[in-house]
Every structure is written in C-alpha cells, then in structure tokens.
Structure 1
Amino acid sequence: MKTKKVVVGAIAAAMLSLSVCSLMPVAAAGETVQISAGKTTATVGGEFSVDVSLADIPSSGIQALDFAVTYDSSVLTITSVDAGALVTKIPQSGDASASLSDLYESSINKNEGYVSLIWSTAAEDSSYWLKGDGVFCTIKGTVSSSAQNGTTTPLSIKPIDRETYSGSKKVNGTIGCGYESNGKPVKLEVKTTDGEVSIGQPATQPTIVRGDANCDGVVELADAILIMQSLANPDKYGVGGKADKPITDQGKLNGDVDDDVVGLTANDALKIQKYLLHIISNL
C-alpha cells in the first residue's frame, strides 16, 4: 500500500503524516485517537455505504493523518470515498498550499483491495486542524453478484506501507497521526475498530392464506381437521410429526384465524367450519 502526496509550503505541509520530517517523531503521552469503520448490511449485488469516523481527538488537534482501509476485492467493489463532515468543515483558506494539493486525498486500489486515506495541512494555526468527533470519510461500493448470502466481509483499518519517518528505511507499522509543535513532530497513538459488510437478502414475510392449514391452496374441512389433530396428537400431526403430512409452521400461521387468541386453538378449527357453512362471510 504505497502512496505519496506532492506537498508545498513553508513547513512542507506539516510533515505529511509524519513521514516527511527528518527527525523521528516523539509520542504524546496519554492521548489516543479512535478510528472506527461502521458496520452495515447489503444484498448480493446491492450497494453499501460505511462511515469511517474519528473520536477522542485531543484538544491539540490533528495536523496530519494517514491510514488505509483494506477489503476483499473479490467480494466488494469500492466506487467512491467521500470526505466526511469532520474534514469538509475545515476551510482550505487556512493553508496557502491547498490550491496546489488538497488537504484530503483518497486512492482506491481495486486490484489489491485497499483504500489509502491522507489528510494534512501546512496551516500553523490549529483552528484549521482536525478537531472534535465525526465522520472522516464515507466509503461506498457494491457487493459482487457472486457473493455468498449470509456471509460477512471485513473492512479493516491498517497503516499505510511507508517508512517510519523520512530516511529510516524501516517499514511503518503504525498509523500516522499527529501534529507539529515547536518544529518537532508529535505522534498520537491510534486505536482502531474494524467495520464489516454483512451480506444477505432482506427477510421476506411469509404469505398467509387464512384458513389453509394444510397449505394445499384451498380452505376446506380438511384444514379444520388437521388443526384438531395437531392439537390432540402433536407427536404425529404437530410440526415435524410422524404423520405423512403433519401441520407445518406455515400451516400454523395460516390456520390461526381466531384473532382473539394468538396461536392455534380449537376455536380456529371452529371458525373455519363456520366459514365453510357460510355462517360467517370471511376469516
């Protein structure tokens, strides 16, 4: 996951995610930024949308941040990564270099299955830095038509593959997050919570044919008889009973025509008989 950003300005866009500064950053004690991806559901072949949010940003603010969100490209296709309210509320006018290099950038690598995310500003005024809690970005995409129904696929928050700091020649193992203070970069600790997309068809409500306890498409005396049999001898005629054609869960829903009592009773069988004898006009 390699990414780069062209940076201009007096302090080189505030040590782009801590990687452009020649000095190893110092850690800020007791300050941990939370990065979390949301969880959502989507149908096979359908669309999804997940927010990636930041929380517990210290009062100092964040001047630079970089991380990646990985995903299974055989299951998901990312179509867009839009800046969230936490980013868009910051005016770019505070950064003289913003006209040449956007403060927020995202890059989708569909082949390897990751999204690179970078935010940095050269503004020395911390009022132009990331502050407060909120949505950093919104990831949108589609689920493959060949995805398996009932499965879950993760959206994992990871560090971007780069040097720990400029010239270190060591692979970065942490998410870049921090700010510059008195000419030195300060690195903030980060805690992550991964997201996921649960794949499944929306639950459908069964179609109830009132009175059709044996589910043969016709309301007749056999339905009333089956209800009575299932009540009198559930081992044989109840759901899963030993009879050739016991009542089913759908049959129980169909046969429950007495609205005064939930569940099958003898009154359901009686009401069906009254209907067949035209004593009542409907079930």
Structure 2
Amino acid sequence: MKTKKVVVGALAAMLSLSVCSLAPAVAAGETVQISVGKVNAKAGETFSVDVSLADIPSTGIQCLDFAVTYDSKVLTIDKVEAGALVKNGADSKDASASLAPLFEGSVNSSEGWVSAAWSTSTDDASYWLKSDGVFCTITGKVASGVADGTVSDLKIVPINRETYSKSGVTNKEISCGYEKDGKPVKYATTLNNGSVTVGTIVTTTTQPPTNKIVRGDANCDGGVDMSDVVLIMQSLANPNKYGLDGSDSKHITAQGQANGDVDSDVKGITSNDALKIQKWLLKSISEL
C-alpha cells in the first residue's frame, strides 16, 4: 500500500516513531477513537459504511492516515469519499491544496484494502480536525451468491508503505497528530473495527423494535427534531457510548434505528439518514 500524496507521506513520517531519530512527543492521556460502522446488506446489493472519529483532543488533528482491510472475495469496494468532518474549509487556508487534495482515499481491490488520509500544512489550528464526526465513507457491493450470515470484517490497520520515500523502513503506526514548534506530537488511537454482514438485519437487544415505525424519531421521544439528528451522528461517531449496546443511558435503541433509517437507498443507519431528517426539518423536502 502506498499513499500517492507526498504531503501526507512526509508528515506521517514525522509522526512515526520508527523513523524519527528523536521520538515524537506523545500527548499523554489523549486518545483518538476511530470507528468503522457495522452494516447489513444482501448478496448482490450495495452498502455504505462510515468511518468516524471521536474523543479528538482540543488541540485537534493536523494529520491522520490509516487503512481498512476487507475480504475481496465477499466485497467489492467502489470508492472512499471524504466525510463531513474533513470538509472544514482547510482547503482555502492551505497553499498545498492547489497541488493535491487534503483528503485522499484509494482502493486496492487485488489486495483487499482501502486507505484514507488527511493532512493540512496550515498552522491555523482552527482548521484542524476538532469535533466528533464522519471522517470518510466507504461504498461498495456484496458479491452475488454470498451466503446469508457471512461476515466480512472491516479492520483498521496502519497503511503498509515506506515511512517516507526511499526510507526502506515500513510504516507500522497509524499516523495521528500534529506539529508543534517544528516537532511532531502523536496521539494514541483506539480502534473499533466494523463489518458487513450478508443478509437481513438480525437484532439481539432487550428493546426490540415494535411494528410501529415513527419515521425520523431516532431517540423515541415521540417527535422529530434536531436531537434525533444528533443521536444518529453520535451513534455513528462513538458507537461504544451511543451505539445499539452503548454505555450511555441515552444510546440509540433498535427501535430508534428502525425509526431513524429514513434513507431508502442504503439499509441501516448512516449519516445520510441524519442529513435527510435535517432536510425535512428545514422543509427542503416534504416527507421522510
């Protein structure tokens, strides 16, 4: 695996412990959570899964790169697109953006991996990544004839590349951090892998969905408002806390997922559901 973007490769090299003669500073007690969603899709059908960030320290992220592996016998990945989190206006403040996009996603179907990388050379930290949200979205298709119940894991791993051009040293770290006073500062990462399960959704929960679907009411409070949009995004960005089996008392439930799944193009909760509810609230669409 090799990233095409020189800027990302150079900054990633600075953040890598394996090539720095002086190890980068590590932000003590600050860990960024990277999570890949879990979705269901039938054989022969398309799917879309979000990769989200949570618990980003207040300083922010200036550079991040990683890969996601998958079983190419089960899945075909078509594209990796930038999420809302990286569409933060940094392009307008970064001179290097005219040479190469700040976000780059690539697919290697023969080896079964996708890579996602974002970096900015701007020193203005207000244009770094600072809030929870969707970093990128992976879209693909399940192969025809795959048996129901088959699970294709989506595993987060370091990008398998040289730490920098002609270094001869293989990168073994997920690059995540920033530069301060000319020196790299590295964040630790917590990884929550995802999956695509072939077949219909099977829910195992103490709060099973009822037959009555209230479209858009993700938090099951009897109405549809911005709090439903927020809960959907929280469940995607921080599934350990707000997902189906999350630790927070107000995590999304199976009924909430059923209510919130308003985007007919993709089965299961995604950022597209939150966007559609938002459009309905703004009256740009007439129905959910």
Q: Secondary structure at the match of 1:92?
A: helix
* Aligned match of 2:117: 118
One-letter amino acid of the counterpart of residue 15, structure 2: L
Equivalent positions of 1:36-47 (< 5 A) are 36-47=35-46
- CA distance in 2 between counterparts of 1:157 and 1:167 reads 25
Is 1:6 paired with 2:3? no
Provide closer, same or farther for how the CA distance between residues 186 and 47 of structure 1 changes in structure 2, counting only shifts above 3 A.
same
Conserved? CA contact 1:21–1:185, under 8 Å: no
- Paired position in structure 2 for 1:198: 197
Contact 1:36 1:192 in 2 (8 A): yes
Taking the aligned partners of 1:156 and 1:32, their CA distance within structure 2 comes to 18
1:123 aligned partner, one-letter code:
T
User: TM-score w.r.t. structure 2 length?
Assistant: 0.64
Matches within 5 A, 1:78-97: 78-97=77-96
Letter in 2 for 1:41: N
Larger radius of gyration: 1
Equivalence for 2:160: 161
Q: Report deviation, 1:166.
A: 7.7
Hey, what's the Cα distance between the residues in 2 that align with 1:188 and 1:69? 19
> Does the 8 A contact of 2:148 with 2:199 survive in 1?
yes
> 1:77 is matched with which residue?
76
Distance 1:174 1:7, change over 3 A: closer
How far apart, CA to CA, are the structure 1 residues paired with 2:14 and 2:145?
Answer: 38
Q: How many angstroms does 1:176 deviate by? A: 0.6
- Match status 1:177 vs 2:180: no
Moved more, 132-141 or 167-176: 167-176
Q: What residue in structure 2 maps to residue 49 of structure 1? A: 48
Match of 1:253 in 2: none
Secondary structure of the structure 2 residue equivalent to 1:33: strand
Residue 28 and residue 168 in structure 1: after superposition, are their counterparts in 2 closer, same or farther (change >3 A)? farther
Unaligned runs of 5+ in 1: 204-283
> Does the 8 Å contact 1:54/1:134 carry over to 2?
yes
Long gaps (5+) in structure 2: 203-288
Letter in 2 for 1:179: Y
Looking at structure 2, the residues matched to 21 and 101 of structure 1 have their Cα atoms a distance apart, in angstroms, of 25
Q: Any conservation in 1 of the 2:46–2:139 contact (CA below 8 Å)?
A: yes
Q: Percent identity?
A: 62
Q: Secondary structure at the match of 1:62?
A: coil
- Which residue does 2:261 correspond to in 1? none
Distance 1:81 1:91, change over 3 A: same
How far did 1:167 drift? 7.8
The Cα RMSD (Å) is 2.5
- Residues 198 and 159 (structure 1), Cα distance of their counterparts in 2 relative to 1, 3 Å cut: same
Task: Provide the secondary structure at the position in 1 that maps to 2:116.
Answer: strand
State the Cα distance separating 1:150 from its structure 2 match: 1.6
Aligned residues: 200
For 1:7, the aligned partner's letter is: V
**What secondary structure sits across from 2:95 in the alignment?**
coil
Q: Shift of residue 89 of structure 1? A: 2.5
